[in-house]
Amino acid sequence: MSAPLFASMDPEASSALIASMTPVEVSRGEVLFHEGEPGDRLYVIRSGKIKLGRRSNDGRENLLAILGPGEMFGELSLFDPGPRTATATVVADGAILELGHLELIAWLEANPKVSKHLLGALARRLRRTNEALADLVFSDVPGRVAKALLDLSTRFGETVDEGIRVAHDLTQEELAQLVGASRETVNKALADFAARGWVRREGRAIVLFDVDRLERRAR
């Protein structure tokens, strides 16, 4: 499995680590942990999708990220001891591997090279978060919708005859929470993209016909 935690390890060592992790089957709607709780383990996604969200005092929800196979979460409360910084909820059925923080520390001490890959993963996440923050301030909603679609396509897109099919598994509400705008505004942007022939919506998936135009709109 390709994940920063197993990168640059010989297959035997990574198999040993995977064997020491607890596999768990998860299904849509299941909450793995809540923001604010103490955390004692991290997770690696084998299959399926996980959303990481935060809730405001008045109950509104914002999504920080949608993660898929190979990605890791739940490590912040280890590297910066404190409560969970987000709520993790399953959006598409799958399987995840759990690793206790204490076991992770032992693993990193025995395999210091892995730390470099974990730092790489954290740095990429910070880069992406900075970009999302700048977009919230500088970009309009259609621009952010275009960017979210392109971002989802890099993780979940598959090439089809007409373009790229992105099975994101998100409801309209979740897509809006990811973009940080109301459902109505996000819907309007998607309807506009569809009317221009750039995309077609298919329930919890979307087909991207014109990636160039979306890229230009996202800038």
The dihedrals phi and psi of 167, each to the nearest 5 degrees, come to -85, 90
Query: Does 62 contact ligand CMP by CB under 6 A?
Result: no
HEC assignment per residue over 148-161: HHHHHHHHHEEEEC
132 versus 207: smaller Cβ distance to ligand CMP: 132
State the residue for tokens 């809730």: 55
Choices 80-88, 133-141, 153-161, 163-171; region in contact with ligand CMP by CB under 6 A: 80-88
Among 64, 97, 176, 206, binds ligand CMP (CB under 6 A): 64
Is the four-CA dihedral 94, 100, 103, 108 of positive or negative sign? Answer: positive
125 versus 217: smaller Cβ distance to ligand CMP: 125
Among 46, 49, 51, 84, binds ligand CMP (CB under 6 A): 84
Nearest CA-CA partner of 101 in 80, 78, 70, 117: 78
Query: Does 86 contact ligand CMP by CB under 6 A?
Result: yes
Token output for 10: 């010989």
Query: Does 129 contact ligand CMP by CB under 6 A?
Result: yes
Among 14, 77, 139, 177, binds ligand CMP (CB under 6 A): 77
Q: What angle is formed at CA 30 by the lines to CA 102 and CA 89, rounded to 5 degrees?
A: 70
Nearest CA-CA partner of 52 in 177, 203, 143, 183: 177
Query: Does 73 contact ligand CMP by CB under 6 A?
Result: yes
Query: Does 122 contact ligand CMP by CB under 6 A?
Result: no
Q: Least distance in Å: CB of 51 to ligand CMP?
A: 10
**Interface with ligand CMP (CB under 6 A):** 39, 52, 64-65, 73-77, 84-86, 125, 129
